[in-house]
Structure 1
Amino acid sequence: MTLELQPQDFSMRAQKWWTPERLKKLMGEKNYIITPISAPKLLRSLGLLNSDASMSPDSIKKFIQINHMFNLLEEHFVELIKRHKTVRILDAGCGKSYLTFLLAWCFKEKWQHPVEIIGVDTNTKLISECKQRAQNLGLDSILKFEIASLFTYKWDLEKRPNAVIALHACDTATDMALALAVKEKADFIAVAPCCQAELARKWKENNSNHPFSPVFHTPQVRREVAAQFTDMLRICLTRANGYEVTATEFVPSSHTPKNRLMTCVRRGNKLESAEKEFNAMKDHLGGASIILEELLQ
């Protein structure tokens, strides 16, 4: 159910609840832009603040996670602001759109820079809730949501997206987001892969006398190892198509194993050495590839 915004006095309620001591306990030494003081209505709308402006333990984890990710990405969006009069962002597989709403809020309230953001997902209910939330927050003029599959979605705006983000887009949805971004020549891409199962499925069917056969036929190990190599193959392919790629941990592994953030900055020139690395790695893994290779051809 979509959360209703609180009356105008909710900001005052948050100011009273979040004393310096409570803020210190919440954030430690971290310098977060989005806080219960700076953006109480936004955090309430996202379900991270209770009606009395307090925050539950689960919400605290989510609050820290999205703020940390935002801090990792902020410099890239500041750079886009310097380069583009209007920054255009696509959130591929947006889900509940936590980061998308943070970005929209920052563009409007902090950076005061024109932006067009589109969130795309196949979940009709989530898209409806996101649309209502954007309207409630007064962000609907810059933040739009569409029901669409990444299999068929095409960027229809006159100018290309400057940034494409895909956070926890499951399995091959991450590959589709990367392929769309590369084909549209987006300046910046950020993906947090999730549930990388494609390569593991192919390994399961591999009955050859391969050095990795013990891995191929041990389910739990197969899934973990395949997820790591899937991301490495993605990195090689993205680098081969003209992007500088950095992989980093955006939350501690004790919180979730799905904690890899790949940031990609377009440099323009295709990197032949990265393509050779991809092909060599694929050969060593028994010839199995990932759908991203096909999508980029």
Structure 2
Amino acid sequence: MSKQAPSAPGRDKRRGKPADAAGAANATGHADTAPQAHEIRPGQSIELLKELHILTRDGKLNQDSRRKLKQVYHLYQFIEPLLQEVLATHPDVSLVDHGAGKSYLGFILYDLFFKALAGTPRIYGIETREELVRKSEELAARLGFGGMSFLNLSVADSISSPSLPERIDVVTALHACDTATDDAIHFALAKQAKFIVLVPCCQAEVASVLNRNKGKSLANSLTEIWRHPLHTREFGSQVTNVLRCLQLEAHGYKVSVTELVGWEHSMKNELIIAQYRDLPRRRPAERLQEVLRTLGLEEMGTRFFAPQAA
């Protein structure tokens, strides 16, 4: 978010207010204000928040940036204990953030957790937009965040990229678009990730298959659940995340699902956290196949796959 250009000296004729006061308000009509002490975590670099345009150059927040900071900190509260658990086993903690965008989460994780670690901890940001990768690289260099790398790759291509290690401790994918959330799950499974943190997005693929196969399933009364287009979209989104959870459980992960606080403005506010515990796989694998068959989604078995039986 860029600062609003200052108004010319004098008065705002439309409102009868001093022009400098009118210029301090952002586009939504809410004035920039100094952050309260509780709004910025201890040890957080103020310069980083300015570089990310969360704080204005004079150190203030507006309504949008205050909400963004709250969201990132809320995610940090979930991720930091996972990083601590990895750190208890080895110092070279590694995290891959898929669909990194401007890397708000990656930079704040590095600033608050990674930069103080011994060893060679690493954060990798995966992003398809080259200009965002370049800007993130430049910012990391300016801040001296030597343990951050940014790769101009799709999530699918990152699975086989030689620029990434064979194993990764933590994988995140927050609102990764198109099929990228599922590709991130496949990446995490291939990299034997200990923890996976997902905020799913773009769940239209299952809904499309449900709609296409609707005529074949009319004899099944369950079809009423997705007979109407609105219900098809909503049910498809719900089923997608159920299938993702079953897939993770079928690979030995313990899965928890919760709602992100402070993300009420977004329909995509579901948080899935998976921890590898080498749990029994047979029952969730059977359930996964059963759901696919019951809903006529067998063709999606390659996306939502269980391990091959030994």
TM-score, reference length from structure 1: 0.83
Tell me, yes or no, if structure 1 residue 145 matches structure 2 residue 150: yes
Provide the C-alpha distance between the structure 1 equivalents of 2:116 and 2:71, rounded to a whole number of angstroms: 20
Tell me, yes or no, if structure 1 residue 66 matches structure 2 residue 76: no
Provide the C-alpha distance between the structure 2 equivalents of 1:158 and 1:237, rounded to a whole number of angstroms: 24
Q: Tell me, what secondary structure is at the counterpart of 2:258?
A: strand
Q: 8 Å contact 1:163–1:188 — kept in the other structure? A: yes
Relative to structure 1, the CA distance from residue 253 to residue 57 in structure 2 (aligned partners, 3 Å threshold; closer, same or farther) is closer
Q: Tell me, what secondary structure is at the counterpart of 1:151?
A: helix
Whose relative contact order is higher, 1 or 2, with alpha carbons under 8 Å and at least 6 apart?
1
How far has the Cα of 1:218 moved from its partner? 2.0
Matching of residues 204-215 of structure 1 within 5 Å: 204-206=211-213, 207-208=215-216, 209=218, 210-215=220-225
Q: Provide Cα deviations, 1:174-219, integer angstroms capped at 9, x if missing partner.
A: 0100011112111111111012111011011121213243443422
Tell me, yes or no, if structure 1 residue 227 matches structure 2 residue 237: yes
Provide the C-alpha distance between the structure 2 equivalents of 1:159 and 1:151, rounded to a whole number of angstroms: 15
* Structure 2, unpaired ranges of 5+: 4-32
Provide the C-alpha distance between the structure 2 equivalents of 1:64 and 1:112, rounded to a whole number of angstroms: 28
Q: Give the counterpart letter for 1:138 in structure 2.
A: G
Tell me, yes or no, if structure 1 residue 170 matches structure 2 residue 171: no
Q: 8 Å contact 1:175–1:291 — kept in the other structure? A: no
Q: Tell me, what secondary structure is at the counterpart of 2:193?
A: coil
Matching of residues 240-279 of structure 1 within 5 Å: 240-252=250-262, 254-279=264-289
The equivalent of 1:42 in structure 2 is: 48
Q: Tell me, what secondary structure is at the counterpart of 1:54?
A: coil
Provide the C-alpha distance between the structure 1 equivalents of 2:87 and 2:263, rounded to a whole number of angstroms: 32
Provide the C-alpha distance between the structure 1 equivalents of 2:96 and 2:294, rounded to a whole number of angstroms: 35
Relative to structure 1, the CA distance from residue 18 to residue 114 in structure 2 (aligned partners, 3 Å threshold; closer, same or farther) is farther
Q: Tell me, what secondary structure is at the counterpart of 1:83?
A: coil
Q: Give the counterpart letter for 1:203 in structure 2.
A: L
Q: Provide Cα deviations, 1:142-188, integer angstroms capped at 9, x if missing partner.
A: 00101111222225345511111111112311010001111211111
Provide the C-alpha distance between the structure 2 equivalents of 1:258 and 1:158, rounded to a whole number of angstroms: 30
The equivalent of 2:109 in structure 1 is: 103
The equivalent of 2:292 in structure 1 is: 282
How far has the Cα of 1:276 moved from its partner? 1.4
Deviation beyond 4 Å, 4+ runs, structure 1: 108-113, 294-297
Q: 8 Å contact 1:245–1:264 — kept in the other structure? A: yes
Matching of residues 6-155 of structure 1 within 5 Å: 18=34, 22-24=36-38, 27=39, 33=41, 38-111=44-117, 114-139=120-145, 141-153=146-158, 154-155=160-161
Q: Give the counterpart letter for 2:157 in structure 1.
A: T
Provide the C-alpha distance between the structure 2 equivalents of 1:252 and 1:107, rounded to a whole number of angstroms: 22
Relative to structure 1, the CA distance from residue 264 to residue 155 in structure 2 (aligned partners, 3 Å threshold; closer, same or farther) is farther
Provide the C-alpha distance between the structure 1 equivalents of 2:296 and 2:206, rounded to a whole number of angstroms: 11
Aligned length: 273
Relative to structure 1, the CA distance from residue 253 to residue 291 in structure 2 (aligned partners, 3 Å threshold; closer, same or farther) is farther
Relative to structure 1, the CA distance from residue 246 to residue 211 in structure 2 (aligned partners, 3 Å threshold; closer, same or farther) is same
Q: Tell me, what secondary structure is at the counterpart of 2:49?
A: helix
The CA RMSD measured in Å over matched residues stands at 2.5
Q: 8 Å contact 1:86–1:115 — kept in the other structure? A: yes
Q: Tell me, what secondary structure is at the counterpart of 1:231?
A: helix
Q: Give the counterpart letter for 1:225 in structure 2.
A: F
Q: Give the counterpart letter for 1:211 in structure 2.
A: S
Greater Rg, structure 1 or structure 2?
Answer: 2
